[in-house]
Amino acid sequence: MIWIINWIAPEPDLLSIFVYHFKYLFKIFIQLRFMYIYIHNRRVTYAETDRMGYLYYGKYAEYYESARVEALRALGIRYRDLEDAQIILPVRQMKCRFLRPAQYDELIQVITKIPHLPYMTILFNYELRNEKGEILNVGTTELVFYDNQRKRPISAPDTIIERLKPYFFPPEKTN
């Protein structure tokens, strides 16, 4: 079998380089086309730090929340409007991985991604970066669409699905 590959591509190194780069570029294309991405900036305040001048670990959930709320707001979806419609979004699960500390007065970029269209839950992925572009923290939250009047989980509202659809491939045709 090896001689066939050498016969088709006399330079196996070039073939492996091509395959590697193709996989890398394809992965980037998939990530950019199949998700909604929002970038939220927030500066670390003195009140949010511990005695070492690092962002206190319990505050990362607040950074996730503010980025999540602003990401939905950028889509034209306000939490207040959902709550007025008796739809709440309790957090079902949160994961957080600390890589480096965020420090006092640093401007933190919270990159928020919705990797797929929601159904009964909506998943948010987060990446916190400092001004140097270093990744400080990664995390996820999963929220449940919940009817507060009937006290049970529900499917994602059509308005949310419609607002997110343009960010996912392939776009559905509408008549």
128 and 69 belong to one structural domain: yes
Q: Identify whether the C-beta of residue 82 lies closer than 8 Å to the C-beta of residue 138.
A: no
Alpha carbons within 13 angstroms on the beta-carbon side of residue 124 total 30
Give the residue numbers spanning the domain of 52.
36-167
Q: What is the pLDDT of residue 46?
A: 96
23 and 9 belong to one structural domain: yes
Residue 137 lies in a domain: yes
14 and 58 belong to one structural domain: no
Q: What is the pLDDT of residue 3?
A: 46
The beta-carbon contacts of 98-101 under 8 Å, at least 24 apart in sequence, are 98/57, 98/60, 98/136, 98/137, 99/135, 99/136, 99/137, 99/138, 100/130, 100/134, 100/135, 100/136, 100/137, 101/52, 101/54, 101/55, 101/136
Q: What is the pLDDT of residue 1?
A: 45
Q: What is the pLDDT of residue 168?
A: 84
At residue 76, φ and ψ (nearest 5 deg) are: 90, 20
pLDDT tens by residue, the chain, 175 residues:
444 444 454 555 666 666 665 666 666 555 555 789 999 999 999 999 999 999 999 999 999 999 999 999 999 999 999 999 999 999 999 999 999 999 999 999 999 999 999 999 999 999 999 999 999 999 999 999 999 999 999 999 999 999 999 888 665 454 4
Q: What is the pLDDT of residue 6?
A: 47
